[in-house]
Amino acid sequence: MAMILEVVDARGGRVPMRLRLDALPLTVGRGFANDVILDDPYVDARHARIALDESGALVVEDLGSVNGLVAQGTPARRVQVAVGTGAEVRVGRTLLRFRDPDEPVPPALPDLPEPVAAPEPARPSGSRWTTSVWAQLAVSAAAVGAMAGTTWLENYQRSSASEVVSAGMGFVMLGAIWAGIWAVAGRVVVQRFRFFGHFAVASAALLAAIAVTTLNQWLTFFFPDNPVSGLVEIGVGVGLAAALVAGHLSLASSMPRRRRWRAGIITGAVMLGLGGVMTLVEDEGFSDVPQFAGVLKPVGPGWIPTAPVAEFGEEAAELREQVDELAREE
């Protein structure tokens, strides 16, 4: 009765390979000359051997590897481990699990037009624009340019060069620190230091934030006091935070897409909750500073939607009700 060897990624739990142990012995290692080839940088080129000992029992033997063998449930390295059904031996960061060939498997899933919760494809994620060098460069340069450009447009001093440069450099520096932290995290978790990819993710988030802020400014210019702008700001803020975290996780972890987005949305929701609490606290407090909010835009007189002055009185009446209410609250 030949046993089944199951190769398991020790951290992700994925099973890249199953093998029937018909002919023994078998060698295990990262080198291509092995019978079982493991894609794990912590595994030696020739790491272990699976064989039968004198008594005919199945064993795994260390072939003098760097990280050795670790048997299930014991922390210590072993030179030889006897294995039976259900046993697990760790080599590097890969688990060798031994299973009974008669073990039943669940029936196949019907392949419907909507794929039902199929397991994620086991490819390392983040393989789109975030890993293309040219795309990374383009997005990063666009973000630095946008940062400098908006600073210039918001500046009305005669010499604005120093402010523009420091805004661009400021983003580069903060972005580098941010991307560096993510890249180090990625190096630890998936053994990949993708600094420029992380910088590009942060850049994309900045570009989106600038675009949405600008659009919102125009919206509130044309329609001040509209109820949508505030919601757009909150919604986009949460969405951007979620996308930012999900984007970084796609490069710095082997999480499936759904889990990345779940983490991102949780982050966004926590930020929204904190922001909401702070706004509430601020609104409760007394302030003798009125808010003349809103940005004015250079638009020809014919293009601005306006109400007649007479209608302004209705606004005033509403305000009066609000402050009368405040005065009653004491």
Partner 1 sequence: MHSPPARLRALRAALLAVVALAAAAPLVAQESPTATPTVFRRHADRVIKIQVVEAGSGAKAGIGSGFFVSGAGHVVTNYHVIAPLIHDPARYRAEMVDGRGAARRVSVLAVDVVHDLAVVHTGLRTPRHFTLGPGRAAQGDRLYSLGHPNDLGLSIVEGTYNGHLQHTLYPKIHFTGSINPGMSGGPTIDAAGRVVGINVSTSGDQVSFLVPVERATALVARALAPGYRPPARFLPEVGKQIRAYQDVYLREMFAGKTKTVELGRYRVVTEPAPFFRCWGDARRGKEQPYESVDHACSTDDYVFIAGDQMSGMVEVQHELVTTRSLNPSRFFALYSSIFQRDNTPGGDEEHVTSWRCSTRNVRNASTPLRAVLCLRRYRKVGELYDAVLKVAVLGHRDSGLVSTLTLSGVSYENVDRLSRRYLERITWR
For 39, 51, 80, 82, 94, the CA distances from 1, given in Å and listed in that order, are 28, 14, 22, 17, 25
Exactly one of 23, 33, 76, 317 binds partner 1 (CB under 8 A); which one? 317
Q: Is 1 in the site for partner 1 (CB under 8 A)?
A: no
Q: Note whether 263 and 252 are within 8 A (CB).
A: no
Q: Which two tokens stand for residue 124?
A: 């390392």
Closest CA to 43 of 19, 70, 24, 20: 70
Q: Determine if 231 is a binding residue for partner 1 (CB under 8 A).
A: no
Give the Cα separation of 189 and 11 in Å (integer).
9
- Report the nearest approach of partner 1 to the CB of residue 144 (Å): 19
Q: Among residues 132 and 216, whose Cβ is nearest to partner 1? A: 216
- CA 209/CA 121 separation, integer angstroms: 32
Taking CB under 8 A as the rule, does residue 282 contact partner 1? no
Does 292 interact with partner 1 (rule: CB under 8 A)?
A: yes
The nearest distance, CB 149 to partner 1, in angstroms, is 10
CB of 309 to partner 1, least distance (A): 5
Nearest residue to 140 (alpha-carbon basis) of 59, 201, 93: 201
**3-class DSSP assignment, residue 104:** coil
Give strand ranges (E) for 67-185: 69-71, 77-78, 80-82, 88-91, 94-99
- Contact stretch for partner 1 (CB under 8 A) within 31-39, 65-73, 173-181, 292-300: 292-300
Q: Examine residue 305 and tell whether it contacts partner 1 (CB under 8 A).
A: yes
Instruction: Tell me, by CB under 8 A, how many residues bind partner 1.
Output: 48
The only residue of 158, 177, 280, 281 in contact with partner 1, by rule CB under 8 A: 158
Residue 118: CB minimum distance to partner 1, A: 50
Q: Which residues bind partner 1 (CB under 8 A)?
A: 152-158, 222, 224-225, 286-301, 304-313, 315-320, 322-324, 326-327, 330
